[in-house]
Structure 1
Amino acid sequence: MFLATVLIGGSFIAVENLAGLINPFSLILLRFLISAIILSPFVLFRQKLRRQVIPTLKRGAIISLFYAGFFILQLIALEDTTALNTGALYTLTPLLTALFSIFFFKDKISIKQYSIFFLAVISTCGVIFKGSLDLLLSFSLNEGDLVFFISMILMAFYSIVLKLFQKNEAPIVMVFSILLGGSFWMFLILILFDIPLNWSFIKGRYAFDIGYLIIMTTLLTLYLYQKATAVLNPKIIMSYIYLNPAIVAILVAIFNGIVLDYIVWIFIFISCISTVLLQYILHQEKKV
C-alpha cells in the first residue's frame, strides 16, 4: 500500500497538468482503454484467467462507476479550484471511509482512532499549507471544492465496494474487469452527449502525464489495491492517504527544485508518524 500511495501522490501533479485540456470523460476513456489493451494479453492468453473474466465483469462494471467517478469529478473540480484545496479536503477521505464502514462492516471507531485521525488531518494540512497560518486563514471553499467532496465520497465507497464484491478471482482479472467496465461507461456517456474525443491535444508533456496515469496509477495502483483488499479492511487502506500531501510535497521539491521550509519537514514527519500509529491501532483492533 505504501508503493500505491507514492504512485497516487505523483498522480495529483499529473492530473493538475491535464485538467481542462480535454473533456474529463474523454480523458478517462483514453486512460482506461489503453490500460485495458495493455493488460489484455496477460489475462486473455491464459485459459485459467480468461474463464474468470465473464463472471467478474458485472462486479467490475459496478466498481468502475465509483473509481471512474472519482477521477472525473477530480478533473472537473480542478477546473474551478486548486490542488491546495483538493489536497486539504482529501485528508477527510479516511474518516469518511471509517464512518461508512460502520454501516457496511459493523466496524467501530474508537477514541484512539478519532484522536489519530485528528492528528493526521492537522499534520497533513500543515504540509499542504506549508506551515503558514496566513495561508490557512485565507483558505476558502468554492463550487469546485463541493464537486471534489462528492468525488471523495465516491472514493470512500470504492474501497468499500471493492471489499464487498471481492471473491476468489485473480486480482489481475478484477482489474481488467474494472477497466473494461469503466471504458464502457465513458464510451456510453461520450456517445449519448456527443462529446468529441480531442485526443490529438495530448502531446509533449501531456503525453507523459497521461502515460504516468495509465501505467503507474491505473494498472499498477489498481492491482496493488486489489491485492491489499484481500487482506486489509477499507479503513486501513484509506489511512495511507495521510501520506499523500507529504509525498506530493517531496516530489514537487525534487522535480521542481523547490527547497521545503523546515516547518514543512516537521509536519511531514508528524504525518508519517500519525499514519504509522493509525496503522498500528487499526491492525491491533482488527485482531480483537
Structure 2
Amino acid sequence: MLLFALLVSLSFFFGHFIAADIEPGVLMALRFALASVMLWGLLWWLGVRPVWARFWRFALIGALMAIYFITMFEALGRTTAVSTAAVFTLTPLMAAGYGWLILRQTTGPWVFSALLIGAIGAVWVIFRADLAALMRFEIGAGEAIFFFGALAHAAVPALLRRYCQDVSPLQSSFGTTLGALLVTLVYAAPEAVVTAFAELPARVWWVLAYLTIVTTALTFFLLQYASKRLPPAKVMAYTYLVPSWVVLWEISAGRWPAALILLGVAATLVALFMLLRAEAPARKTL
C-alpha cells in the first residue's frame, strides 16, 4: 500500500496536465482496454485461467473503479491536483463505514480517531484553508464531483474481501479491469466516436501508458493483494500519503501550495502514523 500511494499520486500529477486534452471517459476506455489486453496476456503467459464464474462481482467492482477514475479526471479539469488528492484521503473513513456495512467489521477508538484526524486534514485542504468558506460550505465543483468517485472507490476493499477470496489477485485484477472497461465503453462511446485520436498531443499517449501499466494493472493488483490481508480501513489508510506525494511533485514543478494548506496535509500524515502504530501490536503477535 506504500507503493500504491506513491504510484497513485503520480496519476493525479500527470492527469492534471492532460485533463483538457481528452475527454475523461475516452481516456479511461483506452486505459482499461489496453490494461485488459496486458493482463490477459500475463494470465496466458503464466498459464492461469481467467475466472468467468459470477462475473457480476467483477463488473460491480470494475464499475466502482471506473466511476472513481472518470470523476478524478473530470475533477482535475476543474481544480488542483492537491485538492483532488485531498478528497481522495476521505476514503479511509468511508471504507471503515463500508467495512461495517458489508463485513460487519468494527473500528476501535484509536483507529477511528486517526481516521477522523485524517478526514479533518482532508477537509482543510478541500476548502483551501479558508474557514469562512468552510462555514458557508463553499466546495468547488471539482471537489464535489470527485467526492462521489472517492465514495465509489472506498467500497472496493470490502467488496474484494467478501466476493473475491476464491480467486488470485491476478485473476481478480483481470476481471475487475474488464468489468471497468465494459462500463466505461457505455459511458464513453458517444465521445469516442468524435475524438480525433491522431491529433492528440504526445503527452496524452505518455500519460495513457503510465495509467495503463502502472495505475491500472499494477495498482489494481496491489490493492487486491492488500485487501485480502488488511481490514478495509487500514487498506485505505495509506491513501493519506497521496496528498503529501502530490505536494512534492507540485513543488518539483515549481508550484508551491499555500502554507496553511500544508497543515491539512500534515494532519493526514499524523493519521497515517496513528494507524501504523495501531497495526504494530498485531504484527508482534504473529
Shorter-normalised TM-score: what interval? 0.7 to 0.9
CA positional deviation for 1:265:
7.4
CA RMSD of aligned residues (A): 3.1
CA positional deviation for 1:108:
2.1
Per-residue CA deviations over 1:79-104 (Å, capped at 9, x if unaligned) read 33443432333222111111222211
Distance 1:88 1:260 in 2: 13
Distance 2:11 2:211 in 1: 6
CA positional deviation for 1:273:
4.0
Matches within 5 A, 1:29-178: 29-47=29-47, 49-50=48-49, 52-55=50-53, 57-123=55-121, 128=125, 133=129, 137=132, 140-178=138-176
Distance 1:53 1:194 in 2: 29
For the 8 Å contact 1:190–1:196, the answer to whether it is kept is no
For the 8 Å contact 1:22–1:199, the answer to whether it is kept is no
CA positional deviation for 1:230:
1.5
Distance 1:208 1:136 in 2: 39
CA positional deviation for 1:76:
2.1
1:278 matches 2:275: yes
What's the TM-score once normalised by structure 1's chain length? 0.83
Distance 1:147 1:12 in 2: 15
| Aligned twin of 1:10 | 10
Distance 1:249 1:242 in 2: 12
Question: Mind listing any 5+ residue stretches in structure 1 that lack a counterpart?
Answer: none
Q: 2:51 aligns to what SS in structure 1? A: helix
For the 8 Å contact 2:72–2:149, the answer to whether it is kept is yes
Segment of structure 1 superposing worse, 29-38 or 176-185: 176-185
| Aligned twin of 1:25 | 25
Question: Mind listing any 5+ residue stretches in structure 2 that lack a counterpart?
Answer: none
Runs of 4+ residues deviating >6 angstroms? 259-267
For the 8 Å contact 1:68–1:182, the answer to whether it is kept is yes
Distance 1:103 1:155, change over 3 A: same
Q: 2:106 aligns to what SS in structure 1? A: coil
CA positional deviation for 1:234:
0.9
CA positional deviation for 1:146:
2.4
Per-residue CA deviations over 1:125-151 (Å, capped at 9, x if unaligned) read 67x48xx85x56557313333221111
Per-residue CA deviations over 1:188-231 (Å, capped at 9, x if unaligned) read 33447875344334332222222221121111111111111121
Distance 1:201 1:59 in 2: 37
Distance 1:4 1:241, change over 3 A: same
What's the TM-score once normalised by structure 2's chain length? 0.84
CA positional deviation for 1:65:
0.4
Distance 1:38 1:194 in 2: 21
Q: 2:107 aligns to what SS in structure 1? A: coil
1:206 maps to which of 193, 204, 207: 204
Distance 1:157 1:271 in 2: 20
Amino acid across the alignment from 2:180:
G
Per-residue CA deviations over 1:10-48 (Å, capped at 9, x if unaligned) read 11112222223222221111001111222222112444x
For the 8 Å contact 2:173–2:217, the answer to whether it is kept is yes
For the 8 Å contact 2:87–2:123, the answer to whether it is kept is no
CA positional deviation for 1:248:
0.8
Amino acid across the alignment from 2:53:
P
Distance 1:258 1:190, change over 3 A: closer
Distance 1:5 1:98, change over 3 A: same
Amino acid across the alignment from 1:22:
I
For the 8 Å contact 1:78–1:144, the answer to whether it is kept is yes
For the 8 Å contact 2:68–2:149, the answer to whether it is kept is yes
1:182 matches 2:177: no
